[in-house]
Structure 1
Amino acid sequence: MRLHITNGDSVVGSFQELFPGDTVLPWRDVLHEGPVPPELPLPELSEVRAQFLSAESGRPVERVLADFHARDGLLARYAEFEEVVLWFEHDLYDQLQLIQILDWFQTQAPDTANLRLIQADDYLGRMSRARFAELFPARRAVSAAQLGLASAAWRAFRSADPADLEPFLVPNAALPFLAPALARLCEEYPWTTDGLSRTQRVIRELQRQGLTDRSELFGAFSRQEQAIWMGDWSFFRVLDGAAPRGTGWQWNPILRRFESRPS
């Protein structure tokens, strides 16, 4: 019996049919939104995340907390499974979840011999069951290099100083999609030129072009992204005036390498 951990609910049904008898754990957290304070272990961090997600979504905090507690409890039972298979995509949403999970294994689990990883360069939710069946034999044991890189990147992501992300913007074969994902994250900090994030700048340009409908704006924004990472909930938060990540920074040295790029 295996434990499959993946980026959300879109593939749960397919996995349950393709791998009968196995357990599927969807990792439901939008880590690029809201607080992810450093140093907190997973149980305490889950409480912080639940409070934020409840406040922003309107879901009762008790229900969100219950979901997180059930998730974390199942993760802690990983040794009961013959294999733990991580299925994650190339985009920022997934890469943050992946490094969180790998960091947990690096710092908490005494033995990761049963841990496997599938790194997909396309969206799992768009894949057929036949494609999942093709990917499954390509799973590989998670290496010490992958665990170390993920743990260090997770600490940098949680740091109050965005400059800590800079070492992880260099491509690394261990986690090949991590550097471009974190580079896109950096563009969500206030830019030194006008204090706006890249997403805010794109929204302004689309509005100048005459788009006003919220759904049309989200669709047009998504089509401009090389790897779609932001869901409509996150996009509408920005559209409705949510401040860019790390507001209050007067100067961000990382952003200087991105500000000359077209949005």
Structure 2
Amino acid sequence: MSRLILTFTDSGAGGLKAARLADCVVGVEQRFVCGKLPPSSELDALFSPRAASHRAGAHWLDNLTGRLLEDARRQGLGLIEFCELFDAVDLWVDPDPNSQLQLIWLLDYLRPHASVTSRLAMLQTDHIIGEQQPAELAAWQLRLAPVRGHHLEVAGAAWAAWGASTPEAWFNLLTRDPGALPQLRSSVVALLEELPSRGSGLGATEMRMLELLSAGHVHPYDLFPGHEKLSPRRTFSYWETGALLDGLAHCPVPAISGFDDGPFDLDMHEDPERHQRYKRSRLALTGLGRAIVAGAGDFSQYNPIHRWWGGTELTTERLWCWDAEGRTLVAP
């Protein structure tokens, strides 16, 4: 029986390829936790069939390697058509919020195609797939469970909620039984916590950075979350986290000072001297930063806010907030 594994991180795809559990492993990686969501038309075009002469970088098969994938690229197959080549299609899903968002998007995308959904099985893990040994991943394969109609229904409602113009529908998912997708609830909460907090005006990842700096962790990478780091939050990627840290320092009234280089972009990373200066920077809280950590300052009162949270455009004038103590939304 031919088997395809779809997963949502490059590290997870690498680990699953090493474990040799399927004829083909594909990492389908989109970033949905940060920035403006791509319109459905753009996603449809990315994963639809495409002529062999398509523009490079505009199709899901671009930059993927392997004999089956290269054959599919020559044929211009869409994701649906590629899945139909296999007898079984397994979804291996990490617990982090972006993987959960990719899961609900993919299930919603596949929902009209019974030729694919009838072949789907899913494994939702408590641990990061890319951090496991091949033998352990082989043992996990026994936990695969078929995808049923209720999985597709919950995923469709959740994806619509994430794309809504206010956070209310996403917040209301907390009252819905997520049993079909057990890791979804923790991601709903984690993403709500990244709304500006009532009181500080910062999301949970930003607030943790200030707390760590206040505790004496003064170098930029001390403040990054990740495996065996002082901040265990996994909501944002490496690049997204660097941009958040930049935002705390490069604004009208900064909360952090002391960067010797920046901004946190590809140009800085490709210059070894600049990157070293950045890493050696000794950061400090400003007066506003100290006030925020003490519970007496609000970042949004001094600095303009304009960013996207799912389908919600957050601005200074239209600022949805999260009340962590009451676990409630605060409308503008």
TM-score range, shorter chain: 0.7 to 0.9
Whether the aligned pair in 1 keeps the contact of 2:96 and 2:235 (CA below 8 Å) is: yes
Distance 1:153 1:103, change over 3 A: same
- Give the secondary structure class of the aligned counterpart of 2:44: helix
Whether the aligned pair in 2 keeps the contact of 1:192 and 1:251 (CA below 8 Å) is: no
Most deviating of 146-155 and 164-173: 164-173
User: TM-score, normalising length from structure 2?
Assistant: 0.65
Whether the aligned pair in 2 keeps the contact of 1:11 and 1:125 (CA below 8 Å) is: yes
Compute the displacement of 1:66 (Å): 4.2
Which of 31, 54, 58 does residue 65 from structure 1 map onto? 58
Most deviating of 7-16 and 127-136: 7-16
Whether the aligned pair in 1 keeps the contact of 2:15 and 2:130 (CA below 8 Å) is: no
- Give the secondary structure class of the aligned counterpart of 1:32: coil
Compute the displacement of 1:205 (Å): 2.0
Task: Give ranges in structure 1 of 5+ residues lacking alignment.
Answer: 48-61
Alignment partners' CA distance in 1, 2:213 and 2:22: 49
Whether the aligned pair in 1 keeps the contact of 2:212 and 2:223 (CA below 8 Å) is: yes
C-alpha RMSD over aligned residues: 3.0
Letter in 1 for 2:132: M
| Counterparts of residues 54-93 of structure 1 (less than 5 Å) | 64-67=57-60, 73-93=78-98
Alignment partners' CA distance in 1, 2:5 and 2:15: 12
Whether the aligned pair in 1 keeps the contact of 2:104 and 2:156 (CA below 8 Å) is: yes
Compute the displacement of 1:152 (Å): 0.8
Q: Which residue pairs with 1:223 in the alignment? A: 230
2:126 matches 1:133: no
Whether the aligned pair in 2 keeps the contact of 1:103 and 1:150 (CA below 8 Å) is: yes
Question: Would you identify which runs of 4 or more consecutive aligned residues in structure 1 move more than 4 Å?
Answer: 44-47, 66-72, 108-111, 219-222
Most deviating of 68-77 and 29-38: 68-77
Distance 1:113 1:179, change over 3 A: same
Task: Give ranges in structure 2 of 5+ residues lacking alignment.
Answer: 49-54, 65-76, 249-305, 328-332
Which of 149, 154, 160 does residue 155 from structure 1 map onto? 160
Aligned residues: 244
Identity of aligned pairs, percent? 27
Q: Which residue pairs with 1:192 in the alignment? A: 198
Compute the displacement of 1:89 (Å): 1.6
Q: Which residue pairs with 2:27 in the alignment? A: 26
User: TM-score, normalising length from structure 1?
Assistant: 0.80
Whether the aligned pair in 1 keeps the contact of 2:93 and 2:99 (CA below 8 Å) is: yes
Compute the displacement of 1:97 (Å): 1.1
Q: Which residue pairs with 2:5 in the alignment? A: 4
2:236 matches 1:168: no
1:26-78 per-residue CA deviation (whole Å, 9 max, x = no partner) reads 0222210111156546325779xxxxxxxxxxxxxx76434566788244421
- Give the secondary structure class of the aligned counterpart of 1:169: helix
Compute the displacement of 1:22 (Å): 0.8
Distance 1:45 1:251, change over 3 A: farther
Distance 1:172 1:118, change over 3 A: same
Distance 1:4 1:111, change over 3 A: closer
Compute the displacement of 1:220 (Å): 7.8
Letter in 1 for 2:157: A
Letter in 2 for 1:22: D
Letter in 2 for 1:176: P
Letter in 2 for 1:134: A
Letter in 1 for 2:127: D
Letter in 2 for 1:215: Y
Q: Which residue pairs with 1:57 in the alignment? A: none
Question: Rg bigger for which structure?
Answer: 2
Most deviating of 124-133 and 69-78: 69-78
- Give the secondary structure class of the aligned counterpart of 2:199: coil
Compute the displacement of 1:234 (Å): 1.4
Compute the displacement of 1:189 (Å): 1.5
Q: Which residue pairs with 1:99 in the alignment? A: 104
Distance 1:168 1:125, change over 3 A: same
